[in-house]
Amino acid sequence: MYRKHRKLIFLSVTVLALAFLIWRLVRPLNIFVVTDNFARPMAVTRVPTGLDSLRAADCGECHKAIYKEWAASMHAHAWTDPYFQADRHFDGSQQICLNCHIPLQNQQPHLVEGFLDRERLKPVLRKNVNFDPALQQEGVTCAVCHVRNGVINSPYVSGRAPHPSREDKSINEGMGICKKCHVVSGKRWDTFFRIPPCGTVAEIRAGSSGKGIHCIGCHMPLITRPLVQGGEPEPVHRHLWRGGHDPQMVRQAVKFNLGINMKGGGAGAARLTLTNTGTDHYLPTGTPDRYLSVTFTLQRRGVTVKKKIFQLKRTIMWRPFIVDLWDTRLIKGKPQSYKFSWSGGSGPGVITVTVRYHLLAETRRRRIKYRNKKPLSYIIFQRRTAIGAGSRQNHP
Ligand code: HEC
Ligand code: HEC
Ligand code: HEC
Ligand code: HEC
Ligand code: HEC
C-alpha cells in the first residue's frame, strides 16, 4: 500500500517534470528581459525652437560634417539595414525591436498604450497619427541622443547655437548615452546568463558602474574641424561609431604574433598568438552572431594536405534554458594561442595562416533567408610561409 503510494508520487513528479521540459522546448523563445530603458518608445516629440523638424537632415543643414559621418554609420542604418529587416521578420516583427532601432515615438507607426503581459513583450498598440516615415528611415538619429523636451542636450553649451541647448554631462560621462541601448540586462529565473537584446556589450554588466570604460573615447574620437559650416576649427567628436563593419577598426585592435618552427625532415609547428589590445570589452563583442576564425593550412604542390580551424565565439544553449556554455573570444589584454603542427613530407610546402572576422554565420543567414549583398566575413590577418623540406627556419 505504502509502496504503491510512493510509486504514484514518483510517477506524477516525472510526468510533471517532463511536461515542463517539453513546454520549455516548444514555448516561444523570449531571449531577453525587457527593462525600463527600452520598454517603450522615447517620448521625444517637441522640435527645438528655431529648427524645422527632428530629422537629422535638418541638423545637417548646419552640422554638415557630423551629418555626413552619421549618415555613413550603422546608427543611421539601424532601420534600413537589410540584415536587421530579415531578422525582424523572422522573429515575427515584434514591436520591442523598434525601441532601440527606431526609438523615437514618431519613428514608429503605433503608440504603446500598455502591456498585456507582465514581461512587457505584448504591447497594446494604437495608431500613431504623427508617425513620420522619413524620420523612421533615420534609425538612431541625432535627436535620440541630443533632444529632450524641445532642447538640444550636449555635454557643453557654446552659447553660439541658434537653438536652445542644455548642458548634460550624462551624455558622455563613463558609458554615457551608449548605456541606454548597448549595456542593458535584466534578471529572470530562467536565464542563467543575462543576455541583453542583440547580445550587445554583454560582458559589461548593466548594474556595474563601468568605471574606467569610456565608450566615446574609442568610438567617437576627436578631430579638429569647424563644428558648423564656416566656423573656426576646434576639437570635435567624430560621429562614425566604427565597429564590426569596419575591418580597419577591428585590425588595429588585435596584436598578431606568428611563430613557425621547423623540426627537420620537413616537419614543423606554427603558433599564432592573438591579443586584444584595442578594446575595453571582448573582441568580438556585440551580437552573438559575431565571431573570429583562425585557419591554418599546409599545402604541398598546390594541394591542401592538412587544415585546422579554430572559432572564437560565444556558444549559447537556448533551450530548455538559456545558458552561456562557453566563450572563447579575446578578453582584453589576455593573449590566446592557436597551434598547428605537421609531419615531414616530400618536397617544399606553404603554410597559410588566416584570421577572419565574421559578421554572421552562413547557417544563420540561410535560416532567416537574408540575402546579403556585402560579404559576411573579411580577413584581418593573413600570412603565407614557404617551408622547404628539411630546411630549418624560425620566424618571429
Ligand atoms: C541653423 C543651424 C543649426 C541647426 C539646424 C542645428 N544646429 Fe546645432 N549648432 C549650431 C551652431 C551655430 C552651434 C554652435 C557652434 C559653435 O560652437 O561654434 C551649434 C551647436 C550644437 C551643439 C553643441 C551645444 C551648443 O549649444 O553649443 C549640439 C549638440 C548641436 N548643435 C546639435 C544639433 C542637433 C542635434 C541639431 C538637429 C536636431 C542641430 N544642432 C541643428 C547650428 C545649428
Ligand atoms: C537608441 C539606441 C542606441 C544608442 C543610444 C547607441 N546605440 Fe550604438 N547601435 C544601436 C543599434 C540599434 C545598432 C545596430 C544597427 C544595425 O547594425 O542594425 C548600433 C550599432 C553600434 C555599433 C556597431 C557598428 C558596427 O559596425 O556594427 C557601434 C560601435 C555602436 N553602436 C556604438 C555606440 C556608442 C559608442 C554609443 C554611445 C555614444 C551608442 N552606440 C549609442 C543602438 C544605439
Ligand atoms: C548615438 C548617440 C549620438 C547620435 C546619434 C548623435 N550624436 Fe552628437 N554627440 C553624441 C555624444 C556622446 C557627443 C559628445 C561627445 C563628448 O563631448 O564627449 C556628441 C556631440 C555632438 C556635438 C558637439 C560637438 C562635438 O563633437 O563634441 C554636436 C554638434 C553633435 N553631437 C551633433 C550631432 C548631430 C548633428 C547628429 C546627427 C547627424 C548627432 N550629433 C548624432 C552622441 C550622438
Ligand atoms: C579601448 C577602446 C574601446 C572602448 C573603451 C570601447 N570599445 Fe567598443 N570597440 C572597440 C574596437 C576596437 C572595436 C572593434 C573590435 C570589436 O568588435 O571588438 C569595438 C567594437 C564595438 C562594437 C561593435 C560590435 C559589432 O557587433 O560590430 C560595439 C557595439 C561596441 N564596440 C560598443 C562599445 C560600448 C557600448 C562601449 C562602452 C561600454 C565600448 N564599445 C567601449 C574599442 C573600444
Ligand atoms: C535594447 C536595445 C535593442 C533591442 C530591444 C533590439 N536591439 Fe537589435 N541591436 C541593438 C544594438 C545596440 C545592436 C548593435 C549590436 C552590435 O552591433 O554589436 C543591435 C544589432 C542588431 C542586429 C545586427 C545588425 C548588424 O549590424 O549586423 C540585428 C540583426 C538586430 N539587432 C535585430 C534585432 C531584432 C530582430 C530585435 C527584436 C527582437 C532587436 N534587434 C531588438 C539593440 C537592440
Residue-averaged pLDDT of the chain: 89
The label of the residue with cell 585546422 reads 308
- What's the whole-number mean pLDDT along residues 379-388? 94
Give 196-244 pLDDT, tens digit per residue.
Answer: 667 667 677 655 656 678 899 999 999 999 998 888 999 999 999 999 9
Whether the CB-CB separation of 258 and 237 falls below 8 Å is answered with no
Report the distance separating Cα 147 and Cα 114, nearest Å.
Answer: 24
Which of 145, 287, 329, 373 gets mutated to test ligand 5 (max ligand atoms within 8 A of its CB)? 287
The label of the residue with cell 560579404 reads 375
- CA-nearest residue for atom 25, ligand 4, is 244
Assign 21 a pLDDT band (cuts: 50, 70, 90): confident
The residues, any chain, with a CB within 8 Å of residue 77's CB and separated by 6 or more, are 139
Give the percent of the chain with pLDDT over 90.
67
Least confident of 102-106, 339-343, 391-395: 391-395
- CA-nearest residue for atom 32, ligand 2, is 241
- What's the whole-number mean pLDDT along residues 289-307? 95
Type of residue numbered 1 = M
Q: Ligand 2 mean position to 75 CA, how many Å?
A: 5
Q: Which ligand is nearest to the CA of 237?
A: 3
The label of the residue with cell 536652445 reads 164
In this predicted structure, the answer to whether residue 251 has a pLDDT above a threshold of 80 is: yes
First to last CA, the chain: 78
Give 303-353 pLDDT, tens digit per residue.
Answer: 999 999 999 998 877 777 677 778 899 999 999 999 999 998 778 899 999
Q: In ligand 3, which atom is closest to the CA atom of 76?
A: 5
Least confident of 95-104, 185-194, 242-251: 185-194
Report the distance separating Cα 30 and Cα 49, nearest Å.
Answer: 41
Q: Give the CA angle between residues 367, 368, 374 to the nearest 5°.
A: 105
Assign 394 a pLDDT band (cuts: 50, 70, 90): very low
Long-range Cβ contacts of 295-299 (<8 Å, 24+ apart): 295/352, 295/353, 295/354, 295/355, 295/356, 296/270, 296/272, 296/338, 296/340, 296/351, 296/352, 296/353, 297/351, 297/352, 297/354, 298/340, 298/342, 298/349, 298/350, 298/351, 299/349, 299/350, 299/352
In this predicted structure, the answer to whether residue 130 has a pLDDT above a threshold of 80 is: yes
Q: Is 70 in the pocket of ligand 2 (CB under 6 A)?
A: no
Q: Is 98 in the pocket of ligand 2 (CB under 6 A)?
A: no
